[in-house]
Amino acid sequence: MTTTWRHLPAPAREIAQAATEAVGAAQARDAGAYQPAVERLAAADRAGLVLGGVVRLLLEEGHPDGLDGDDIRQVLERCVRSTAAWRPDVDPHVLLVLLAGALGVYDPGDDDAPPDPAAIARHAPLLVADLLAATGRPLADYLSAAFAEVARTELHD
pLDDT tens digits, 36-94: 999 999 999 889 999 999 999 999 999 999 899 999 999 999 999 999 999 999 999 99
Mean per-residue pLDDT, 9-38? 94
Half-sphere exposure (CA, 13 Å, Cβ side) for 139?
A: 29
Residue 1 binned pLDDT confidence (cut-offs 50, 70, 90): very low
Residue 2 counted as domain residue: no
**By the 8 A CB rule, do 139 and 23 touch?**
yes
Can you give the residue range of the structural domain that contains 150? 10-156
* 62 DSSP assignment: H
* 116 DSSP assignment: P
Residue 1 counted as domain residue: no
Q: Is the pLDDT of residue 111 over 70?
A: no
Q: Is the pLDDT of residue 118 over 90?
A: yes
Tell me the pTM.
Answer: 0.91
Residue 77 counted as domain residue: yes
Q: Which residue has the higher pLDDT, 122 or 9?
A: 122
**By the 8 A CB rule, do 58 and 71 touch?**
no
Residue 4 counted as domain residue: no
**By the 8 A CB rule, do 17 and 2 touch?**
no
The structural domain count of the chain equals 1
**By the 8 A CB rule, do 91 and 127 touch?**
no
Residue 14 counted as domain residue: yes
Residue 132 counted as domain residue: yes
Q: How much is the pLDDT for 43?
A: 94
- What lies within 8 Å, CB to CB, of 104 at 6+ separation is 56
Residue 112 counted as domain residue: yes
